Amino acid sequence: MGSNTGAEARPELSAALSGEELSRWYWTLAELTVLARELGVPRGGGKAALTERLQAALDGVAPPTAPPRTRSAGRQLVAPVNGFTVIPAGQRCSQVLREYFRREIGEGFHFDASMRTFVAEGAGRTLADAVAHWHATRQAAARPQEIGSQFELNRFLRDYYAERPAGSRTEALAAWRAQRDRPRRPAAG
């Protein structure tokens, strides 16, 4: 998080960029979506997938093949549910489940990574099993968790506050804006 003095300026996001140049800079999903619309590139699939498709389009190569959609459109649980209710295949972390878990666990309940995985992969298990899983995973959930690479702002803020515990949010966001306006790596060549 050094100074930006003498650094090259972030280019305008346009069809004139190369795929390599696109990948050198931080772009918001909103910015990438505008470029995708301009280039006629499909906009779905998240920021990483969209960036890959844009890089291919800018370089004039075939886009990466999209993995087949695996999301099951199976039946979702509806209220009322109880501890004997079996989780169906394709169940999502719904408001019905959130309400049930808040009644059983308390207001501190939230769908963390462990619970999202349990619900997604828990077909055939009961909601009582899910409550037991919540309680069994609280110690591990209390430890610092890895922040996914797609959450660049969150990673930056975690590192910023680790280095500057007394830093203000205003200062942290100003540092983030300076960071994202610098290239991620030097230009090739």
Asked if 126 and 134 count as a contact pair (C-beta separation under 8 A), the reply is no
The string of pLDDT tens digits covering residues 51-102 is 999 999 999 998 877 666 655 557 899 999 999 999 999 999 999 999 999 9
Q: Is the pTM of this model over 0.75?
A: no
CB 91 within 8 A of CB 71: no
**Per-residue model confidence (pLDDT) at position 185:** 75
Supply the pLDDT for residue 2.
Answer: 47
Q: Which of 55, 56, 32 is nearest to 44 (CA)?
A: 32
Buried/exposed 57-92: b ≥16 CB within 10 Å, e otherwise: bbeeeeeeeeeeeeeeeeeebeeebeeebebeeebb
The SS3 call for residue 126 is strand
What pLDDT, on the 0 to 100 scale, is given for residue 155? 87
Q: What residues of the chain score a pLDDT lower than 50?
A: 1-4
Distances (CA, A) of 127 to 75, 89, 91, 92, 132: 16, 13, 12, 13, 9
**pLDDT computed for residue 151 by the predictor:** 80
The answer to whether residues 88 and 55 touch, using CB atoms and an 8 Å cutoff, is no
pLDDT of residue 186: 72
